[in-house]
């Protein structure tokens, strides 16, 4: 998930989560897989592709028979047996040579029959065949489909009319391959007839790659020390084509009938239930699993997994078989997911008034996975940290993450799977709705967690920090090349999408939104749609419910939020006559003379408000609208007087920030100090976030913003505290290498000390969930500021654990991250090696993640150097998916940040080669390494790195550009505010050593 200005634990949790999905970033097609099975085995495979497979028992006797490792044939051998057309250039297109990567619209697929035999325990080759039934929409003399990293056996490619299988195949005059577009093209000697159906069949060979995309391999070590292999898939957005030739665009839905060959000591899963299992002739120990034909769905949702995993069943949902799969040694950690999954599904069935359309739902935890999770229909794949939870060692935040990711992926089963965006331009419809609905799903099973309050700090405030950059982008943005598609899997699609949906829920009302969604889903089920289709159905329902004027549409309103980047700042000036003047303008992180922003944006803004004289924070429907033509608007007859406060944007349901005249700010501060509980908890978080952001960009003085913070000694709620600390984290980062840092550290300790003493260092796992989370914040921040009581207790606990390493209960799960980091920072090589040894033997992914981050807290640069080098070593003890977690921990460490940046610069080419095209990680590493940069020298280094490596950046370029803009803003902040902050700290007495 996208990084936020959060605590060490929270940053770690989000560094590798769903909105940060590392995705393909530039593709160089290979015409043959790096390793390929021998021709002899290929002959066995071809003989096993008979369409009528004999059925045996559903659960054949297990066997330990495995294939011997076979040598890979040479390129010459491959080319002797397989004809390949010459390739065009495989370099990713530049802006100047931009190409159209969309398939021709003359043919659509109706059904696929796919047979795949992955040699998991052999040389990782895949023997495959595909039959695609297609319908011709317009006469054409060629068939174009997607294919990448696959050997097409051109002599086996046949094209026949589906209604006359006895007829001779149509003649294919030429086989072409377009590497730039990843197209296979069969050129024909005659036109295909409009409205006729044809079947294209092909045998091919592929490869189980190690790039976590397409059909790939993963490895783990069982408790006996034996290495085990699995084969699994990740196709979103454009990698189904790496597993089988296909029409790899989301709108081109079809049915899928899948056969997977496996060894009898393993099991296979796919989207649909297994129909039968049959022996493979002449291949002892191998069987075919035949899965039922799917409902119509997009290629990116197809999935299959071959493993030796165990599973547990749940029957909580009467209509659907639920199973959770994991390594045998970790299956006991699947209980929580098994418990909540069916209940969340039942909730969404009720929310949408549409039953889950499939007979089963498998959820599987994978040792290696590039994304946080993937919503494959009926077979959801997860990172282990996103699905598995062990209450003995996993924290409350780990549990919350499992619940949120499970709910997110289950929401996709309707929004994204049942109805799919026609093209990736509307990715936000998928991810925005799932990100919003996940909170409702978790709230249904864990109501005390107050997820809609947490939404503010985890989603809304987080994306505000990105969307105020000039280098942001509209939520709905045209994309073409896979690099462009990968680049929009970011906070804008996820968090902003969720935030504007939440806003829409409040201005339309929840009943109207829900009914409109149900109508939309029923109309387009098993099809694809665009955002304007959704707007039409919501408008119809809103007009019917009289929740929107007849002359106003949802499209009128929402186009201003989806087709424009950024968001408005609403400035409120309260007048003495009971009226207020409102103005709107785009909010930018930093306004300076070098700004290149020329947009004159206006929005349809829902304005809700309350006042001290008539307090009502629950009526979040807009009292008035500012429309997109209004730069200013006057509200008359406010229920207030000049010496009373007004608060705009109730529960911060609108996607905008609010500034007030100085008198109104002073009245709000007065109320917070007198009795902060009179103001809704969500609005307290809003006031804190708005005040500190406004001060950061120079709209409000820091004197006022810091005065807002002064009430926190009485605050006990998690969300306002988390909001305040996130914002103060930015100031801390800016001052960390300045003379003012000591004074600021003393200020932070004075601010947090009352909370720390109230919640205490000792954890209580029986406390309410949010009480546990606020204790984590207090303890983490105080230990990070070297508060003596906190550090001494942390070091003492760690020492006791070193003396009793088998006693896992010495350190509370919630405090592990803080205790381990503090002990590693205060200790030396012995402490580091002890924690590393614990990392190696841990069987819980969330605990291993905690270890990885804490190991980066050392003050010894040589230790950090070795740790980072080990992380980037292929085949080591740190998985490729986890490398960025290690890098983030070192970059976040004041003793390691320079080293992390220099390592990145000096090893850029090697790092890109290590990750390959399956990750966008290198761009993220730049973001992590430079988050505290605030000098011209640092900026110049960043620009040089970007300009010298444009070809390597691909989908990560926008992330790097945003990091450069943030650094420019940081420099501007230092110029504008450093002296003021230093003066304020001195005047308050914090500058005394």
At 915-948, the pLDDT tens digits run 876 555 778 899 999 999 999 999 999 999 888 8
By the 10 Å C-beta count (0-12 exposed, 13-18 middle, 19+ buried), 69 is classed as exposed
pLDDT at residue 43 in the model: 44
Nearest-10 crossing angle of helices 936-948, 957-987: 170
Residue 382 clears pLDDT 60, i.e. is over it: yes
Contact criterion met (CB below 8 Å) for 686 and 652: yes
pLDDT at residue 85 in the model: 29
Residue 833 clears pLDDT 70, i.e. is over it: yes
pLDDT at residue 920 in the model: 56
- Rounding to the nearest 10 degrees, give the CA dihedral for residues 607, 613, 616, 621: -20
Residue 52 clears pLDDT 70, i.e. is over it: no
Average confidence (pLDDT) over 775-794: 97
Q: Which residue has the higher pLDDT, 917 or 668?
A: 668
pLDDT tens sequence across 412-464: 999 999 999 999 999 999 999 999 999 999 999 999 999 999 999 999 999 99
466/21 Cα distance (integer angstroms): 17
Contacts of 122 (CB under 8 A, 6+ apart): 37, 66, 67, 68, 69, 70
pLDDT at residue 12 in the model: 31
894: nearest Cα among 975, 786, 748: 786
525/539 Cα distance (integer angstroms): 19
pLDDT at residue 918 in the model: 52
904: nearest Cα among 863, 936, 871, 937: 871
pLDDT tens sequence across 106-120: 999 999 999 999 999
Tell me the two tokens of residue 476: 């709905």
pLDDT at residue 93 in the model: 39
Distances (CA, A) of 186 to 29, 170, 180: 18, 11, 17
Residue 79 clears pLDDT 70, i.e. is over it: no
pLDDT at residue 949 in the model: 81
pLDDT at residue 14 in the model: 29
pLDDT at residue 910 in the model: 86
By residue count, the chain amounts to 993
By the 10 Å C-beta count (0-12 exposed, 13-18 middle, 19+ buried), 853 is classed as buried
Tell me the two tokens of residue 244: 């089988």
> What is the SS3 assignment for 376?
coil
Residues serving a catalytic function are: 409
pLDDT at residue 919 in the model: 55
Average confidence (pLDDT) over 968-985: 94
212/368 Cα distance (integer angstroms): 7
pLDDT tens sequence across 285-303: 999 999 999 999 999 999 9
- Rounding to the nearest 10 degrees, give the CA dihedral for residues 821, 824, 827, 828: -160
730/931 Cα distance (integer angstroms): 9
Average confidence (pLDDT) over 39-48: 44
pLDDT at residue 641 in the model: 77
Q: Which residue has the higher pLDDT, 110 or 168?
A: 110
> What is the SS3 assignment for 536?
helix
- Strand locations in 655-699 (E): 657-660
- 84 in a known ligand binding site: no
Mean residue pLDDT across the chain: 88
- 412 in a known ligand binding site: yes
Residue 973 clears pLDDT 70, i.e. is over it: yes
> 955 falls in which pLDDT band (50, 70, 90)?
low
pLDDT at residue 594 in the model: 64
Residue 72 clears pLDDT 50, i.e. is over it: no
Contacts of 294 (CB under 8 A, 6+ apart): 255, 256, 257, 258, 271, 272, 302, 377, 378
pLDDT at residue 592 in the model: 59
Enter the pTM of the model.
0.90
Q: How far is CA 708 from the centre of its chain?
A: 33
């Amino acid at each position: 998930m996208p990084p936020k200005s959060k605590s060490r634990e929270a940053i770690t949790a989000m560094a590798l989560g769903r909105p940060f999905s590392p995705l393909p970033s530039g593709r160089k097609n290979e015409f043959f897989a790096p390793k390929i099975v021998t021709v002899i085995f290929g002959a066995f495979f071809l003989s096993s592709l008979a369409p009528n497979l004999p059925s045996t028992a559903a659960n054949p006797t297990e066997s330990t028979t495995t294939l011997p490792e076979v040598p890979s044939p040479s390129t010459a051998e491959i080319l002797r047996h397989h004809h390949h057309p010459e390739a065009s250039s495989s370099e990713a297109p530049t802006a100047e040579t931009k190409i159209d990567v969309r398939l021709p619209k003359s043919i659509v697929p109706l059904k696929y029959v796919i047979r795949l035999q992955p040699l998991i325990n052999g040389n990782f080759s895949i023997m495959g065949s595909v039959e695609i039934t297609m319908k011709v929409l317009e006469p054409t003399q060629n068939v174009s489909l997607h294919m990448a990293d696959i050997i097409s056996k051109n002599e086996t490619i046949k094209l026949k009319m589906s209604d006359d299988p006895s007829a001779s195949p149509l003649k294919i005059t030429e086989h072409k391959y377009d590497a730039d577009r990843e197209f296979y093209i069969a050129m024909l000697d005659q036109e295909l007839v409009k409205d006729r159906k044809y079947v294209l069949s092909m045998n091919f060979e592929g490869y189980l790659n190690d790039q976590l995309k397409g059909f790939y391999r993963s490895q783990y070590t069982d408790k006996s020390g034996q290495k085990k292999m699995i084969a699994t898939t990740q196709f979103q957005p454009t990698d189904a084509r790496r597993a089988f030739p296909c029409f790899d665009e989301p709108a081109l839905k079809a049915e899928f009938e899948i056969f997977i060959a496996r060894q009898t000591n393993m099991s296979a899963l796919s989207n649909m239930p297994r129909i039968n299992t049959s022996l493979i002739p002449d291949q002892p120990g191998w069987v075919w699993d035949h899965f039922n034909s799917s409902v119509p769905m997009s290629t990116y949702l197809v999935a299959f997994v071959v493993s030796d995993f165990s599973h547990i069943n749940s029957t909580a949902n009467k209509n659907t078989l639920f199973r959770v799969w994991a390594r045998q040694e970790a299956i006991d950690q699947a209980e929580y997911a098994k418990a909540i999954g069916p209940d969340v599904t039942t909730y969404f069935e009720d929310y949408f008034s549409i039953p889950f359309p499939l007979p089963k739902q498998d959820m599987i935890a994978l040792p290696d996975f590039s994304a946080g999770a993937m919503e494959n229909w009926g077979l959801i794949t997860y990172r282990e940290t996103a699905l598995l939870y062990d209450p003995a060692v996993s924290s409350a935040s780990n549990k919350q993450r499992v619940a949120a990711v499970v709910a997110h992926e289950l929401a996709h089963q309707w929004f994204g799977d049942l109805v799919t965006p026609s093209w990736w331009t509307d990715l936000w419809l998928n991810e925005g709705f799932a990100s919003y609905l996940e909170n409702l799903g978790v709230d249904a099973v864990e109501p005390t967690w107050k997820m809609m309050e947490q939404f503010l700090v985890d989603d809304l405030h987080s994306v505000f920090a990105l969307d105020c950059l000039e280098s942001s982008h509209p939520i709905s943005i045209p994309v073409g090349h896979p690099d462009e598609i990968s680049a929009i899997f970011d906070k804008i699609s996820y968090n902003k999408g969720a935030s504007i949906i939440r806003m829409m829920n409040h201005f339309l009302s929840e009943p109207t939104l829900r009914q409109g969604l149900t109508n939309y889903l029923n109309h387009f089920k098993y099809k694809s749609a665009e955002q304007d289709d959704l707007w039409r159905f919501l408008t119809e329902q809103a007009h019917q419910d009289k929740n929107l004027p007849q002359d106003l549409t949802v499209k009128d309103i929402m186009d201003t939020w989806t087709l424009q980047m950024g968001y408005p700042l609403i400035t409120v000036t309260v007048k003495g006559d009971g009226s207020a003047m409102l103005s709107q303008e785009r909010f930018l992180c930093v306004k300076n003379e070098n700004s290149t922003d020329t947009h004159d944006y206006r929005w349809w803004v829902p304005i809700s408000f309350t006042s001290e004289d008539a307090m009502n924070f629950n009526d979040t429907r807009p009292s008035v609208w500012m429309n997109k033509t209004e730069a200013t608007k006057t509200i008359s007859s406010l229920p207030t007087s000049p010496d009373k406060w007004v608060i705009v944007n109730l529960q911060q349901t609108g996607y905008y920030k609010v500034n007030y005249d100085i008198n109104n700010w002073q009245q709000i501060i007065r109320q917070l100090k007198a009795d902060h509980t009179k103001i809704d908890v969500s609005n307290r978080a809003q006031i804190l976030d708005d005040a500190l952001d406004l001060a950061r960009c120079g709209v409000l003085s820091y004197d006022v913003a810091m005065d807002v913070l002064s009430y926190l000694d009485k605050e006990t709620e998690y969300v306002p505290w988390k909001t305040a600390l996130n914002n103060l984290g930015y100031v801390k980062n800016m001052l960390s290498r300045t003379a003012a840092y000591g004074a600021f550290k003393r200020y932070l300790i004075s601010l947090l000390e009352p909370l720390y003493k109230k919640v205490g260092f000792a954890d209580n796992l029986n406390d309410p969930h949010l009480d546990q989370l606020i204790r984590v914040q207090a303890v983490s921040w105080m230990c990070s500021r070297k508060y003596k009581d906190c550090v001494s207790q942390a070091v003492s606990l760690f020492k006791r654990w070193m003396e009793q390493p088998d006693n896992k209960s010495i350190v509370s799960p919630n405090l592990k991250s803080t205790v381990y980091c503090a002990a590693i920072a205060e200790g030396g090589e012995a402490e580091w090696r002890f924690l590393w040894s614990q990392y190696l033997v841990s069987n819980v992914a969330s605990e291993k993640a905690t270890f990885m981050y804490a190991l980066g807290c050392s003050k010894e640069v040589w230790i950090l150097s070795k740790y980072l080098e080990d992380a980037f070593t292929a085949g080591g003890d740190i998985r490729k998916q986890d490398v960025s977690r290690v890098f983030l921990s070192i970059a976040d460490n004041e003793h390691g940040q320079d080293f992390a940046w220099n390592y990145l610069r000096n090893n850029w080419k090697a790092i890109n080669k290590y990750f390959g095209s399956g990750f966008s990680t290198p761009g993220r590493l730049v973001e992590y390494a430079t988050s505290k940069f605030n000098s011209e020298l640092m900026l110049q280094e960043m620009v040089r790195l970007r300009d010298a490596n444009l070809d390597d950046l691909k989908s990560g370029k926008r992330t790097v550009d945003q990091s450069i803009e943030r650094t420019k803003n940081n420099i501007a902040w230092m110029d504008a505010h450093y002296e003021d902050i230093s003066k304020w700290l001195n005047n308050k007495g914090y500058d005394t050593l």
